[in-house]
Structure formats: structure tokens, C-alpha cells
Structure 1
Amino acid sequence: MSANQAPSIIWFRQDLRIHDNPALQTAIERGGPVVPVFIYDEKGEGKWGFGGASKWWLHHALNDLSSQLDDYGLRLIIRRGKSGEELKRLLKDSGAEAVFWNRRYEPDVIKRDKLIKESLTSEGFEAKSFNASLVFEPWEIKNKSGKPFQVFTPYWKHCMQQKIAPPVSVDHQQAKAPKQWPDSLAVEELALLPDIGWDTGFYDAWTPTTAAARQRLGKLAASNASGYTKNRDRPDMDGTSRLSPYLHFGQIGPREVFAAFDKHDSDGTKGARKFLSEIGWREFSHHLLFHFPHTPTEPLREEFNHFPWEMDEAYLQAWQKGETGYPIVDAGMRQLWATGWMHNRVRMIVASLLVKHLQIPWQEGARWFWDTLVDADLANNTQGWQWSAGCGADAAPYFRVFNPILQGEKFDPNGDYVREWVPELRPLDTKVIHQPWEADLDQLGGVVIGRDYPAPIIDHKQGRNRALQSYEKLKALRSK
């Protein structure tokens, strides 16, 4: 069978969309039938297999992708097993002579994909990968010394001087189906959904489809993200984009984000510029992960290998359950458990309490987020936790300790966020809702601290002072 007649496999991974998909467009342009494939390969993910919340999202995203492909006469073939072995089986079953996919940037996945490409090429198959999930490839952006950036502001300034490619136009109408489809599992056979119904609240919080992502992006871009700068730090308001899980699973791409704002003159508002810089922070996180692949488990700043972390299981469990006695922290942790997501400002507050007040290793927080976030992304998760611990890039001042009381009062001024997620505190007077242990009986509205809601597991001043002392010890070690 000639090249322009032989089928091509499009291997879907974290690019679960049919628009702005260069691998899919290349398969269509090749001329032969197109065989869309998803392989559930948990071992191929290395140390970072899908967490529980991510599996929930993946289940629904795969169903959504399958429905989109159906509209063009294509089927999503689903397999489970080692990616390389399954691809070779599919090549044999379908008679395909080429495999196209879009790149991922996690260290273990890079190693796996490299071996797969080498193996397929050595056997005479065409194997090509493309960029669908980033605006800039990590190896393309270098500082004046030719090295990777480690500070965000100069990184993003440099990026904004580069040309941003438009979304890839995919001619779906030209896609051809094979005469016979290979065998496939049903999405349900992957058993991605939990056996117990802890995910009930996810369905109210999310619609894991490409259509929902594009609708949310369109609304944000049409307003030029007006109010984003002002409201993005308010967890009691719908002031963020909530596009993170859609971006992680590739139901929408960053090139589409920039293109959407270009249509609405993105230079016109501070909100638009600020929002696009958050896309830049995502790019920066992938830049760091690619160049420093050890960072998911080890600090970027080597001296933090000597930081005096103190592992305390009781503290960790209280934090995980949202029972720390700090209302803004507990609200965030309960929102996370109920919806698979947490407001970004609150993520910083809860992380600060864990790694600074309690001095529990940042890796413990990263693991919990990995399992409970629907937008769990190795690059973003790693960068966020290392920033919070002070051991990563752009972490100055690394010794900053968030005050959970003041943070609550500033960013949840009416206590609405706390009341939503910590219902036992709803009767409290707004003046004391962020530090209920200081309230008198009238302000508590019948709530008993220590019975209905816990007292703080650590005093703020005590935790802050202990953290600063630990940073001073680390500083002394560095100077030796």
C-alpha cells in the first residue's frame, strides 16, 4: 500500500481535541485513512500516574473526544497497556504505516516517547511528534548566556518578543475512515471513575468538554478579562478563568487562548495582559520541568536538601481534611475535596501553612494535590509547591510566611467563601469568622471552638517564628 493510501495513527494523549491539533492535521494531510487512538498506560507515566481526580476528568474528556470524532465518521480506539507494544499491535491490525502524536514534557514520558520513536523508525514506520500544548518549546527559549531562565519576569518578557504561532487549522472534512476498525475497549472498561461516590460534587462544578472550555474562553476574551486583575484573588467570586484542567488535558490549547484575545485587542486592558501572563507562568513551569527534570521530587535550590523539615502525620491529616482551625485554609482544602479544584490564591495560603507553619515537606503537599486536583499538572504542581516552600525558581522572598488570618480578611472580606465550605462557621459574626478562637460568645452564635470547629493546630506567631528560625539555620549552612 502506498504512503498516501496507507492509514495513519493519531496517538492522542493530553491533546484531547480535534481543533488546533497538528498531529491530527498531519495524519489527514497524508491522505490515507486516519485511526485515532488513546492508550491508557499508567506504567508509562512513571512515578506520576493519574491521580483520582484526574482519572475522573479523563473519563469524561475521552467520551467527549469520542463524540467529536464521531461527527466526522471517525472512532476513538482505546487500548490499555504499554504504549510502544500497543502501537505496534495497532500498526499491524490497521495496516498503518505512520504514527503521529503531540509532545508531552514530563521527564519519564520524554524518555518513553524517545524510545518509541526510535523503535518505530528502526522498523520502517514514520513517527513524528508535534507541539500542541505550549506556545514555546522549552528548548527554544534561552537567556543571554544560552541557559534556561530561572526567573519569570525576564523569561516572559523574552517570550513576548517572539512570534506566537496561530492555532493549526484542521480540515476535519477531509478525514477518511479505514474500511475496518481495530478492536477497542469502551471508556468504561478503563475503570477511571471511583468506586465510592466522593466525586459527586465534581458534576456540579465541571463540564469536562471542549465546548465548555471554548465557551468559557470566549466569554473571558469577549470581556477582555476586564476585572481579572481586581477579582482574581477573591475566592468568594468567580474571578478566575477555570481553564486549567482544560489546558492540562488539551481540550483547549494555549495558542487558541492567545488567538482569542488577539481578536479582542488584548493590549486594551490590564486584565487581559495579566491573564495572558498566567498562561506565561504555565509556560515557565514547563520550561523549568524540562530543563530541571529532578524537581518533581527534589528542590531546584540544592541547599534546601538540608532544610529541617518535620514530618508529622497528625498535622498532615488535619491539613488534608480541612481541620487546621484556620478557616480560609480549611475552606480551601474542603473545596478541593468536594470539587477537585481550589482557588489559586487559596492554594498559596494552604501551601504556606503546610510547609512553613508546620514545616511538613513540600513533597507531601504536592502528592496530595496530585491526587485530588482535576488540573493536576506535573509542571505546574511542582513549580507551585517549590515556590511556596522557597526552594524553587522565582521564590524570593523565599522566607515569606502568609498570615492565614490576614489573608482571609483581605481576600474573603465578608466570609462568604468560608461560610460556603465550612458550614459549621456560618453563624459567626463576619468580624471574627477568620479567627473564631478570638470571638466572644455573642459573636460565635452558639458555635463552640474545640467541639464544633477545631482551635488552630499551631499558633500563627509560633509557626511563623519557627519557620524564620529554620530559614536562618539554612542561611547559616549556606555561608559555611
Structure 2
Amino acid sequence: MSEFEKGLVWMRRDLRCTDNATLTQALSTCREVYVVFVFDTMILKGLPADDRRVAFIHDSVAELARTLADAGGALIVRHGDPTVAIPSLAKSLGVQAVFAGRDYEPAAVARDRFVARSLDDLGIAFEALKDQVIFEASEILTSQGEPYSVFTPYQRAWLKQVRPVDLAPHGRTRDLQHLAVPPNDAEALPSLASLGFDVSEARRMAVPAGESGARQLLDDFLPRMAHYHERRDYPAVRGPSYLSVHLRFGTISIRTLAREAHAAMFQEGDAGSGARKWLSELIWREFYFMILHHYPHVVGKAFKPAYDAIEWASGMAADANFQAWCEGRTGYPLVDAAMRQINQTGYMHNRLRMVTASFLVKDLGIDWRRGEAYFARALNDFDLAANNGGWQWAASTGCDAQPYFRIFNPTTQSETFDPHGRFIRKYVPELANLPDKALHAPWRADAQTLLGGKVTLGRDYPQPVVAHDVARKETLARYAVVKTPAVTGKRIDDVGVE
């Protein structure tokens, strides 16, 4: 028996019909189900007109609309402030409940609270469901009932607790039923131009959009998963899954990916090793979601508050170095190649995210928050929890058992993970004619080698903006004045946020 006559599913980070916990719940408890997506002006207004992520979302929403139409329903599209649009639409449709996937970012939590209160005033229920993680909030705690602050023990607890039911799919596309078409039919999907965006074909993401795009990438990755642990650190090798942007916008479910990895991790040899390593990366994602939930102060502040006392480099020289880092002009080829990759494509290899972050914070001495903000604007797969967690990990201010004196050597990283310079030559073509040995540190090359490679340092390619060995000593001194602290941030339940 249905609990509600009519329900409304508000899709946000779950742009799919397959294995969608929110949609499944609504279809199982309502006689009629409407579906809506809101192009949120509160988010869009802060983005550049050529933001490739909006084009990806637009393409994914278009596919979602077609899938719903083929199943006998329709996608209602709104462009505005969801705190106004959702209660207004729910009232006009006469629904008794609004369903949405639970979000964990502080701004989203505040938004949903406001919407829930507005709906409550109208006598309409608001049901938020877990969908974008396997385990959320306080589902995994220490034996003392506290959230984990270090990844490895969290991962052990995650693996010990997970069961097949946790990874089981929530409904299938062919199970769609009770979908309803609004009385005045669904509005046409607005064009990118009408939303205020103009994204050229050259500017668009290289990855295909929508559920079909996610499935295509997963099918490509599964035969390669066995070698993930061997290839994942090499940016010139096709090692990653390239599914992070799909996870970010929910065009594929985390259950689908975790189920594939978990099933393969028990195989012998490379197959099991690759799967275990990939599953570990998915668990890292959940770990950072959990941290954001329990310690919302990490948005803007160090997870370990004592590190907020660090005196970061500032002034004109620091600003010039930051600009050089942003534009890929540091004089360190691997760092510059990585920054040019993110600027050109919106994608950056995970190993290079660590290298570039370490370089900004520990070679240039620049506040990690400046780098975090830059990545937030540039990354296709930007996710607040993961981006913040990764930057604080690199800055040694976050959830990391390693001490602050872990400092990546950009030249050693280059020699190790791009030994033949394939990645560097692609994104720093002015160095393409240098031999491999000189490519990673061209300032060390003799005049004859540089001449043969058609490189004049300071003209064709910059001299290093800092000397790594000198910068390393300065960083050790900068951090040494801060006593290694215990975690003192307030948990989210201490401040009354659910």
C-alpha cells in the first residue's frame, strides 16, 4: 500500500534512474511520482560563462529527461533558487512528500533545512535519503563511539562492516513505474545560453556525459582494474577509471562501483590487488565525507586547529609565485605540466594533485586555502569534501598520521612517475626536444644539451621560482613552531547540525 498519493523527487547529485535510492523510495511509497531538477542560481551565479561542468550537467540532465520520458514520465526543470522553487512546485503539484538524496556540505545542509521547514509549513514531508555513500555520518565509529580521524583504521572498520546488502542496487531503469507527467507537461530543458553559459566544443569535458557515459567508462575500466595498483600513479598511462566526475554528479552510483571492486578484491594475484587499491580510493572518498560531517570547521580552517597559526608567505613575491603556479610557469616541468593539464582540460591526475599541492604549500610556502580555491574553480570533479581533504592532507593540517616533514620533491616525483617525459612533453612542448635525463630538471642541464633541445632558460622556459632544498628547510622551520596538536574541532552534533 502506498504511503503517499503524490511525491516529488528532487534530483541533485543523483542524475540517473538506475540504482537511485531516492527515486526507488519515492516509487515504492507513492502512487504518483514527479521528478524535478533545479539549475540552482545560487550556485551558477558564481561560475564563469564557459564553465565546462555546467555543460556536463546540462548534457546529463538532457539524457535523464529522455530516460524518464521513455518510461512514461517527465523531468520538470526549474532555473532559480531551490529554496523557493521546490516548496512552490510541491504546493502546485499537490504532493504530500518531497524526496532528495542527502547532502553533507554545510551550505547544502543549511539549504535543505530551510526547504524542509518551508515544506513543513505547507504540511508536506521532506525525506532525505542516503545515496551518494555506502556509509554516512556516524555509521562507522571507533570502539569509543567517536569518528575516525585517520584513514587506515577507518578503512579497516569500513571493510569489516560492509555487507552485500550495503552494495545492492536500489531499483533498475526497467522498474520505473508510477511516474507522473505534470498537468501542464514538463517545461522544455533550457538551453545553456538561456542559463547564461556559452561553452564551446573545445572547452567541453573529454569524458562522455550522463548514465550512458558513465557506463561506457566503467566498461572500459573493468578489464583494466586488475592493473590499477600498478598504473594509477603514472600520468602518461591509462590507469585511472576517469569516473570521478560521474561520481560527483551521480550519473553512476557509488554502490555500482564499490560492488565491482569488492567482488574482485578476493581474487588472487593482480586482479585482487588492483581491485583492493581502487576500493581503497572509493573508501577515501567516504572518509572525507565523514570528516566534513563531523568536523565542518574544516571548511576554511585547518582540521588540526593549531596549524591555523602558521605564517604563510604573503606579499608581492608570494602573489607572483602563486600566479606562476596557477599558470604552469614554476620552472619545475612536472608541476607545470600538471597545472597546464587542469587549466586546459579541467582534469588532473591524482598523483599530480598531491605533487602540485605539496609544491604550492611546502615549496612556495603559500596557504593551502588558496590552492584549494583554485582547484575548486578548475576541477571538473570538484567535490568540497575530497578537495578540502586532499589539500589538508598535502598541507599536513588534516587527517594524516604522517608528520609535517613529508615534503614531495618535484624532480624526484617527475623522474619516478614520468620517467620518459611523455606527460611533460604533452603539456610543456617547449621542452619536448630535451633528452629524458635533462627534461625533469632543465636548469641542471649543460649549455650544449639545452642548445640541442632548443631551450633557452628564462626565455623559452622559466628558471625555477624557488630552490627545492632551500624551500624545504624554510618549510620545516615554518611548521616546527607549531606543536603537533590533537584534534580539537567540534563535532557536528556538538553544534546541533544533523
- TM-score normalised according to structure 2 size: 0.89
1:212 aligns with 2:218: no
1:394-413: per-residue Cα shift (whole Å, max 9, x none)? 15122211111110000000
Distance 1:452 1:49, change over 3 A: closer
Question: Counterpart of 1:378 in structure 2: which amino acid?
Answer: L
Unaligned residue ranges in structure 2 (runs of 5+)? 487-498
Q: CA deviation at 1:425?
A: 0.8
The residue that corresponds to 2:23 in the other structure is 24
Tell me if the contact between 1:43 and 1:49 (Cα under 8 Å) persists in the aligned partners.
no
The yes-or-no answer on 1:314 pairing with 2:320 is yes
Cα distance change of structure 1 residues 182 and 304 upon mapping to structure 2, 3 Å threshold: farther
1:35 corresponding residue in structure 2:
34
SS at match of 2:37: strand
CA apart distance, 1:74 = 2.3
Structure 1 residues 376 and 435: alpha-carbon distance in aligned structure 2, compared to 1, 3 A threshold: same
Cross-structure match for 2:371: 365
Contiguous gaps of at least 5 residues in structure 1: none
90 and 194 in structure 1: CA distance in 2 versus 1, 3 angstrom threshold: closer
> What letter is aligned with 2:72?
G
CA 1:189–1:411 in 2, change beyond 3 Å: closer, same or farther? closer
- Alignment partner, residue 461 of structure 1: 469
Aligned-pair identity (%): 37
Give the distance between the partners of 1:266 and 1:38, measured in 2 at CA.
Answer: 39
Alignment of 1:108-257 (within 5 A): 108-164=107-163, 165=166, 166-170=168-172, 172-178=175-181, 180-181=183-184, 184=187, 186-188=189-191, 194-195=197-198, 197=200, 200-203=202-205, 205-223=206-224, 225-257=225-257
Question: 1:179/1:425 Cα in 2 relative to 1: closer, same or farther (>3 Å)?
Answer: closer
Q: CA RMSD in A?
A: 2.6
8 Å CA contact 2:363–2:466 kept in 1: the answer is yes
Paired residues of 2:248 and 2:381 also in contact (CA < 8 A): yes
Q: Answer whether contact 1:383 1:392 (CA < 8 A) is retained.
A: yes
Match of 1:446 in 2: 454
What is the aligned partner in structure 2 of residue 329 from structure 1? Answer: 335
Instruction: Identify the residue that residue 95 of structure 2 maps to in structure 1.
Output: 96
Give, in angstroms, the shift of residue 65 of structure 1.
1.8
Query: Is the 1:80–1:190 Cα contact (8 Å) retained in structure 2?
Result: no
Offset, 1:443: 2.3
Pair 1:53–1:463, CA change in 2 (3 A): farther
Partner Cα distance (2:140, 2:95) in 1 = 36
Which amino acid letter does the alignment assign opposite residue 373 of structure 1?
L
How far, CA to CA, are the matches of 1:150 and 1:48 in structure 2?
33
Matched-pair contact (CA < 8 Å) for 1:90–1:182: no
- Secondary structure at the aligned position of 2:457 is classed as coil
Instruction: Note the C-alpha offset of 1:263.
Output: 5.0
Paired residue for 1:419? 425
The answer as to whether partners of 1:42 and 1:49 remain within 8 angstroms in 2 is: no
Q: CA–CA distance in 2 between the matches of 1:49 and 1:143?
A: 43
Give the superposition deviation at 1:179. Answer: 5.7
Answer with 177-186 or 246-255: which moved more.
Answer: 177-186
Q: Structure 1 residue 297 and structure 2 residue 311: aligned?
A: no
Structure 2: how far apart are the matches of 1:130 and 1:99? 11
Q: Specify whether residues 174 and 477 from structure 1 end up closer, same or farther in structure 2 by C-alpha distance, changes over 3 A only.
A: closer
TM-score, length-scaled by structure 1: 0.92
Q: Within the alignment, does 1:392 sit opposite 2:398 as a pair?
A: yes
1:321 offset after TM fit, Å? 0.6
Shift, 1:208, TM fit? 1.9
Q: Deviations over 1:112-167 (max 9, x none)?
A: 21232233234221321111100101221111111110000100101111134112
The residue type equivalent to 2:145 in the other structure is G
Q: 122-131 or 293-302, which moves further after superposition?
A: 122-131
Output the CA distance in 1 between the equivalents of 2:185 and 2:98: 15
Q: Distance in 1 between matches of 2:471 and 2:74?
A: 56
Q: 1:189 to 1:195 in 2, by over 3 A?
A: closer
Deviations 1:426-453 (A, max 9, x none): 1111111010111123422111111011
